[in-house]
Amino acid sequence: MQTIIKSNSVSKDTQKIIQSIRYDKLFVLTDENTSKKCFPLIESIPEVKTATRIVIAANDTNKNLDNLSVIWKHLTENNATRHSLLINLGGGMITDMGGFAAATFKRGIKYINIPTTLLGAVDAAVGGKTGINFEGYKNEIGAFYPAENVIISSDFFKTLSLEAILSGYAEMLKHSLIHSQTDWEKLLTFDFEHINYEELNELLFRSVSIKEHIVEKDPFEKNIRKALNLGHTIGHAFESYSIIIEKPAPHGYAVAWGMIAELYLSHRLCGFPKEKLQKTIHFIQQHYGYLSITCDEYEKLYEIMTHDKKNEGDEINFTLLSDIGNVNINQTANKELIFEALDFYRDAVNI
């Protein structure tokens, strides 16, 4: 099981972790943005100074087979072995793809995740899911392969845009919904106009501990780990569609919009309380804008949902709630009800 480290000094903690792992060659993966903005925080580490660096294009649209091949090629050309160590320094795109590169190179090498975004820290870097997008579908190819360590430092979050913070915060909101009303209420009151980064860090670690607890119980998503999929069936469809129309939406925004539709399904199918549905929607309305769709796009969105990894047979699988903290996995909805949920989403965001 991976170890998650709450770091007050990313340089010191990274050096300590590197020195605790036996390896023959060290590699550091970044994208073009984290190479400039984040790598300087660890570049003074003696072991990192002599490491081979791999830099790829930024943004989730580049989480693809071409860039995965670039990583494999660098590892091969620089004589990486199955005893080598890879550090993934970046957001969810880097930790997802770097983790998958590590899982597949020489049938698996060790890696460390250092997430540089709130979304990466709360979602992609933790839990052992790795992967790439393929043929327009989100995370279509991947593997369960946890990092040796995840080093989380709030030093990185102070450089983030409000959009990047909100993207990660949506996953934190999801964790609160599947866990407890106390966590949910706390998250709804956070002040984004005057961000308290210390408070944000505490909320983040609470959120990470919720996910960690679930992943420990079910590392390969056979059962309760499916709770973490709330908002993601429709959310991934929104995200994939936004890429198709060349207006890529941040992952957390798509999940927030997906939660509007899936909490509606929760209300219809599992009796999720209307008042809590409305409060959550109000929070999302206030902060996340919307993806503009018409009923003409429903068929395409539905078709994207049919590719979701959670599906069994021809039925589209959802994680729904009967109340906050009361999770119902393996729920299904027919096409008519899914279209009704998309209608509800459009009404909720006023489009």
Q: Which tokens sit at 150?
A: 């995840």
Are residues 108 and 96 in contact, defined by beta-carbon separation less than 8 angstroms?
no
Which residue did the predictor score with more confidence, 2 or 210? 210
Catalogue all structural domains in the chain, each as residue range(s) with its CATH number: 3-159 (3.40.50.1970), 163-348 (1.20.1090.10)
pTM to 2 decimal places: 0.88
Residue-wise pLDDT for 286-297, tens only, equals 999 999 999 999
Answer whether residue 99 shows pLDDT above 70: yes
- What pLDDT, on the 0 to 100 scale, is given for residue 1? 62
Answer whether residue 351 shows pLDDT above 80: no
Residues in a beta bridge with 89? 114
For residue 314, give the 3-state DSSP assignment: coil
Of 42-56, 77-91, 102-116, 212-226, the range with the lowest mean pLDDT is 212-226
Answer whether residue 313 shows pLDDT above 80: no
Rounded percentage of the chain residues whose pLDDT exceeds 90: 84
For residue 89, give the 3-state DSSP assignment: strand
**Exposed/middle/buried for 201, CB within 10 Å: 0-12, 13-18, 19+?**
middle
- What pLDDT, on the 0 to 100 scale, is given for residue 309? 74
* Distance in Å from the first CA to the final CA of the chain: 45
Residue-wise pLDDT for 122-158, tens only, equals 987 788 899 999 998 888 999 999 999 999 988 888 8
Q: Which tokens sit at 92?
A: 């969810």
- The DSSP symbol for 124 reads I
In the block, residue with structure tokens 């006023």: 350
In the block, residue with structure tokens 């020489």: 106
Averaged over 155-182, what is the pLDDT?
95
> d(Cα 284, Cα 266) in Å, to the nearest integer?
17
Are residues 251 and 167 in contact, defined by beta-carbon separation less than 8 angstroms?
yes
What is the full DSSP assignment across 279-296? HHHHHHHHHH------GG
Q: Which tokens sit at 215?
A: 């992943």
Rounded percentage of the chain residues whose pLDDT exceeds 70: 99
> d(Cα 221, Cα 228) in Å, to the nearest integer?
9
- Residue 274, amino acid: K
Per-residue exposure over 32-70, b if at least 16 CB sit within 10 Å of its own CB, e if not: ebbbeebbebbeebebbeebbbbbbebebebbbeebbeb
- What pLDDT, on the 0 to 100 scale, is given for residue 292? 95
- What pLDDT, on the 0 to 100 scale, is given for residue 13? 96
Averaged over 103-129, what is the pLDDT?
93
Residue-wise pLDDT for 230-288, tens only, equals 999 999 999 999 999 999 999 999 999 999 999 999 999 999 999 999 999 999 999 99
Our measurement of the distance from residue 344's CA atom to the centroid of its chain's CA atoms, rounded to an integer in Å, reads 25
